[in-house]
Amino acid sequence: MSAPATSELRHRRRRTLPRGLAAIPAFLAILGPGLISANAGNDAGGILTYASAGAQFGYSTLFVMVLVTVALIVVQEMCARLGAYSGEGLGALIRENFPLRGSATAMVLLFIANAGLTVSEFAGVGAAMGLLGVSRYIAVPVALVFVWSLTVFGNYSKAERVFVVMGLVFFTYPIAAILGHPSAGTVLSNLVLPHFVWSKAFLLLVVALIGTTITPYMQFYIASAVADKGVTPEDYPKERIDTINGAVFSDIISIFIIIATAEAIGGSGPLNSAAQAAEALTPVAGAAASQLFAIGLLGASLLAASIVPLSTAYAIAETAGVERSLSRKLREAPVFYGLFTAQVVVGAAIALIPGNLVTLVVDAQVLNGVITPVLLTFVLILAGRKSVLGDAANRGGYRLLATVCVAVVGLLSAVVLVETVVGWF
């Protein structure tokens, strides 16, 4: 990148992160935006989707997860690079580099994708409390009021630390997977060789895995976090390592969730309840597996139920150029608070619809997977523009790899969309 351009970018005003995102606990914040954003994908939707993959198809999705990990690394790296070299988040970059129609399309899709995720988080609350003997028709409304009040009027940063600690329960999955004594040869074979099941159910689950692993709000977060942290082009090599490590580490946890669940209940078909998913933790917790799983699921759900809609509200308000801050009163930032409120209310309402909560969560990830490639196209275009990144823009083999990743995700999503529409008739 040329010296004048680099100098100009260095002095751009730093972005202000959403309070829900900026208030990451100190012991996690030091690990870097890359690790934080990638592990944010292991929320309620992620946990139940990975568990469903193991329950329904055993180890067959492991090779898919290896491919998804490569795509996640590429996507997260491009977003981190955009934040470091431009000093801005994706919302601002999309507004500055695309026509109004393009910006509006991106924000509408982000709203829909994150609304689906919000549904899955409240469904996660219902599933978690169900394991503890509390009806979702009580748990979800209480969680809605709690999350909304705490985020808008309270000190969310303190509660967030508790939610994060609760979510650390899922780090027991690698232990559970090892204690389950899986066949090392079978696991390795499924990791390095494709074992695809040619069925619509398998394809839907693959798209759900993409949707819950390469989640749009993670990309918006990491670009903003890197810019807010003040990472310069000279600092970026270290941030790049953090980004890659974060993607790999989070997906290793995801792979262990699949392995542990496959060993515990693999081949039993789609999950019918969170209690089935909890069985994978039996080697670690024994009879207390359900309670342990419930605590982790509840913490992950409450954390993401605030962060996901907040990230949407900030991105859209930023693009629209209106007031966006939790330090403002309701009447001072009506659009911002309106967007946040609409998502949590609709998300909680849909989570109360009678039916299988696990199925609802996985379906939300499928919706997310269908929308994701469109938003990734904006990222791909931005990362390939010299007017945005100068000499740091995608080129050569990396440009090809990034294009292939986005194209494959888009192709799979298109096939699922077509099959779904055809199924209506």
DSSP state, residue 13:
P
Q: Which domains does the chain have, with CATH numbers?
A: 3-424 (1.20.1740.10)
Indicate whether 375 pLDDT > 60: yes
Provide the token pair at 101.
């129609």
Residue 65: band (very low, low, confident or very high) from pLDDT cuts 50, 70, 90: very high
Indicate whether 389 pLDDT > 70: yes
Phi-psi region of 269 (alpha: psi -120 to 50; beta: other; left: phi over 0): left
What is d(CA 334, CA 56) in angstroms, rounded to the nearest whole number?
44
The mean of the pLDDT values for the chain is 85
Phi, psi of 168 (to 5 degrees): -65, -10
Residue 218: band (very low, low, confident or very high) from pLDDT cuts 50, 70, 90: confident
Indicate whether 14 pLDDT > 70: no
Indicate whether 146 pLDDT > 80: yes
CA distances to 71, 390, 402 from 395, rounded to whole Å, are: 17, 11, 10
Region 368-394: what's the mean pLDDT?
93
What is d(CA 317, CA 321) in angstroms, rounded to the nearest whole number?
6
Region 2-27: what's the mean pLDDT?
44
Q: What is the pLDDT of residues 77-115, one digit of tens each?
A: 999 999 999 988 888 899 899 998 988 999 999 889 888
159 versus 258: the higher-pLDDT residue is: 258
- Asked whether the beta carbons of 232 and 10 are under 8 A apart, the reply is yes
Burial class (CB in 10 A: 0-12, 13-18, 19+), 6: middle
Indicate whether 28 pLDDT > 70: no
Other beta carbons within 10 angstroms of residue 43's beta carbon come to: 29
Phi, psi of 324 (to 5 degrees): -150, 95
What is d(CA 252, CA 418) in angstroms, rounded to the nearest whole number?
32
Provide the token pair at 424.
């209506």
Residue 171: band (very low, low, confident or very high) from pLDDT cuts 50, 70, 90: confident
What is d(CA 424, CA 95) in angstroms, rounded to the nearest whole number?
36
Indicate whether 6 pLDDT > 70: no
Region 368-379: what's the mean pLDDT?
92
